[in-house]
Structure 1
Amino acid sequence: MESHAIRALLRLYQKVARSQLRQTNGSFDDKEEDLYTKKDEKEEETCPVCMDVFTKKTKLEKCKHEFCEDCLERSVKSMGAMCPVCKDVFGLVEGDQPNGTMTWRTNYTRLPGFGSCGTIEINYNIPSGTQTAKHPNPGKLYQGTQRTAYLPDNKEGNEVLMLLKKAFDQKLIFTVGTSRTSGAENMVTWNDIHHKTSTYGGPQGFGYPDPNYLSRVKDELKAKGVK
């Protein structure tokens, strides 16, 4: 920290000195001033995570944002493989979902809004267990869950099914936390990838009809790098 402060004071002193010199005798021409300004700007570049001068600067290939090597490593450990600035995913994101199973079957029931196809019924089973270091209260028990969700058995519905399976394998569908409905702690809960848990009732009842649901859930999955 002391070395960063000293460099900052030195740069400030140099700026003031050049400014006074230019005001005194005008011998400091515009081109020379521009060169010093660009040099100062380059020296003052800072990492957006630690807000300090870069140490082992690392640039992400896709979004081009730059970070200290250690800052990026810490961010990946806490947030997953996504840019700390723009949240663009640059690697495989793995969540903290406890172990469990995801199975599905089809039937001939027709969902409201999808009268020309049957239904895909997804069954999730996450048994109770003990929280790990990734969870809010390591060492404490968490209560598991069993959930059922529904998709139309058409081309787009099957596409979403495969994306959900990929997200499940990356431990992104569930997490351990506080239930939004009961307020109970240490529960297995949904992890911001919305599911239709009813075959009817519309969006308010977490069911159908909801003509934009499939495109919305694909966007939610894409935001987590699942596509």
Structure 2
Amino acid sequence: STKYKTCRTKLYLITGDSDKDETCSICLERVTKKKQLPCGHEFCEKCLTKLVETTKPICPVCRDVFGIVNGNQPNGRMSSHMTHSSLPGFPDCNTIVIKYDIPSGKQTVNHPNPGRPYPSTERTAYLPNNREGQEVLSLLKKAFDQRLIFTVGVSRTSGKNDQVTWNDIHHKTSITGGPTNFGYPDPHYLSRVKEELKAKGIK
């Protein structure tokens, strides 16, 4: 019979005893106590449990996120407001201005150098104030609450260690200059950042 079991983060499906001679793509042996993820891929119960405990709730076959991914972003604040100016490429709407404020602190066990300090950082980013821009803003807020926007590590611009850095969710930190300068116009940015957020389970 079919039943559900929880894995710290979200429900996943147990398909019972119908293991047959299928191979688990994690251990590469015959599946035992088969579990099926929402994406349809199936694994051994023990293999899937270990995967969730040691890495993240992401299917190793298709990379679909089946639970809540939490990051190691330091404590901070995210806020937003509107301006009456428009962004290049979006002449018919105002601009959403996002402000991130991460105060200085000490690294935790989830960071590269626990106990060592990191300096404060302030970042500003921009979105068009249209339907898709508002959708991205909502997704970014969710990602911020799950500590996924920033991390602590090596700065890609200065090369310094123990810095608060972006965590692979790209932002437009300039109004102009195009993609090479992290600015607008960039007609594919909103769809790209939604894919980056989806890869972290934010959708």
Task: Check the 8 A contact 2:150/2:164 in 1, yes or no.
Answer: yes
Match of 2:44 in 1: 68
SS in 1 for 2:110: coil
Q: 1:132 aligns with which of 99, 105, 108?
A: 108
Query: Residue 202 of structure 1: CA displacement?
Result: 0.5
- TM-score, scaled to structure 2: 0.82
Task: Check the 8 A contact 2:21/2:31 in 1, yes or no.
Answer: no
Q: 1:82 and 2:58 equivalent? A: yes
Q: 1:112 aligns with which of 64, 88, 105?
A: 88
Code of the residue aligned with 2:43 in structure 1: it is F
Return the alpha-carbon distance in structure 2 between the equivalents of residues 173 and 70 of structure 1: 31
CA deviations on 1:11-35 (whole Å, 9 max, x unpaired) are: xxxxxxxxxxxxxxxxxxxxxxxxx
CA deviations on 1:190-225 (whole Å, 9 max, x unpaired) are: 111110000000001100111111111111111212
Return the alpha-carbon distance in structure 1 between the equivalents of residues 34 and 116 of structure 2: 39
Code of the residue aligned with 1:142 in structure 2: it is Y
Match of 1:49 in 2: 26
Which segment is superposed worse, 157-166 or 129-138?
A: 129-138
Distance 1:143 1:57, change over 3 A: farther
Return the alpha-carbon distance in structure 2 between the equivalents of residues 44 and 156 of structure 1: 46
Q: 2:162 aligns with which of 156, 171, 186?
A: 186
- Between the two proteins, the alignment pairs up a number of residues equal to 185
Match of 2:7 in 1: none
- Greater fraction strand: 2
CA deviations on 1:102-143 (whole Å, 9 max, x unpaired) are: 001111111111111111110001122222222222232223
SS in 2 for 1:50: coil
Match of 1:171 in 2: 147
Give the CA RMSD over aligned residues. Answer: 1.9
Distance 1:71 1:139, change over 3 A: farther
SS in 2 for 1:76: helix
SS in 2 for 1:71: helix
Code of the residue aligned with 2:26 in structure 1: it is V
Return the alpha-carbon distance in structure 2 between the equivalents of residues 157 and 199 of structure 1: 14
Query: Residue 43 of structure 1: CA displacement?
Result: 7.7
Code of the residue aligned with 1:47 in structure 2: it is C
SS in 2 for 1:73: helix
In structure 1, stretches of 5+ residues that fail to align are: 1-41
Match of 1:98 in 2: 74
Which segment is superposed worse, 46-55 or 151-160?
A: 46-55
Match of 1:38 in 2: none
Distance 1:141 1:52, change over 3 A: farther
Code of the residue aligned with 1:133 in structure 2: it is V
Q: Which has the larger radius of gyration?
A: 1
In structure 2, stretches of 5+ residues that fail to align are: 1-18
Return the alpha-carbon distance in structure 2 between the equivalents of residues 56 and 140 of structure 1: 44
Larger RCO (CA within 8 A; separation ≥ 6): 2
